[in-house]
Structure 1
Amino acid sequence: MTLREAQVAVLQANMELDRRNFGIANEHIERAGQRLGSIDAATLSLDEARLQALREDLAQTNLNLATDLAEQRAHLNRLAAEINDIAASR
């Protein structure tokens, strides 16, 4: 399922963040956004507004050294949890 692929990509980004591989982490975030972008919410009976908000949140995510790593990690955990909540609401 594409939602799960997006969730895995966010979790991989979190692992790369811990390794200080910011470029790779951002690539995983981009991949998660692409996966979510290919989802037809109506076909899967998903909340389009929540899915769009998640897409926008991912698009605005930029992992970097200048920002507190704990805050970035918490942000990624929130993104993964939101994907899980959207998937569970089907």
Structure 2
Amino acid sequence: MTDPSSTEPRRTNGLPMRLLLALVLGVVLFGAGWYVGQGPVAGLRSNLNDTTKQRDDARVVALVQSTRASLYQSAADLDRRNFGTANTNLQNAAATLARVPADRQTSDLRALQSRIAATNVNVAVDLRQQRTTILDFADRVTRLAANLPPLPGSAGK
């Protein structure tokens, strides 16, 4: 039997020490993994931001091209004396241009969008003035699109 007052050291199987060592090792390995894993996350976030800016730029280009296509289609419809369709395409052009994000619009672009929206194709014998107005809108959209401000935070790509 074992005497509790004995001076002989007690033998233990070391289980509590092993658990403590395993816990410390687990925390250290978790911390190291967390630290190593954060490097790729920052790079992926940067890539995501760049891709988002490129997507937004492409969206603006698509809206401008769609606006131009609607304006040219309106001019073609006017030449064919399809006044209703010409008006519909003209209004589609104004609506599409209005969808350009506000942070990318200039005051000139907003004014042009308002002018396009306010324009109405009328039945007339001489269509030259109306055609000239519509084609002038298309030219102005092209010129203004080249001068749209870059996305906030982009490096002037």
Q: Which amino acid aligns with 1:37?
A: A
Give the paired residue count. 87
Structure 1 spans left out of the alignment, 5+ residues: none
Cα drift, residue 41 of structure 1: 4.0
Residues 53-64 of structure 1 mapped to structure 2, 5 A cutoff: 53-64=111-122
Residue number among 127, 135, 150 corresponding to 1:69 in the alignment: 127
Identity %, equivalent residues = 32
Paired with 1:65 and 1:35, the residues of 2 have a C-alpha distance of 25
Amino acid at match of 1:12: Q
Q: Which has the larger radius of gyration?
A: 2
TM-score normalised according to structure 1 size: 0.88
Give unmatched runs, 5+ long, in structure 2. 1-61, 149-157
Q: Deviations over 1:31-88 (max 9, x none)?
A: 101101111142x4x42x1111111111111111137410001101110001000111
d(CA) in 2 for partners of 1:12, 1:50: 23
Selected match of 2:145 from 81, 87, 90: 87
Map residues 34-53 of structure 1 onto 2, 5 A cutoff: 34-42=95-103, 44=104, 46-47=105-106, 49-53=107-111
Q: 1:67 to 1:6 in 2, by over 3 A?
A: farther
CA deviation map 1:7-37 (0-9, x unaligned): 1000000000000000000000111011011
Measure, in 2, the Cα distance between the counterparts of 1:10 and 1:79: 7
Q: Which residue of 2 aligns with 1:12?
A: 73
SS, match of residue 74 in structure 2:
helix
Return the TM-score normalized by structure 2: 0.52
The whole-number CA distance in structure 1 between the counterparts of 2:84 and 2:132 is 18
Bigger relative contact order, structure 1 or 2 (CA pairs below 8 A, ≥6 apart): 1
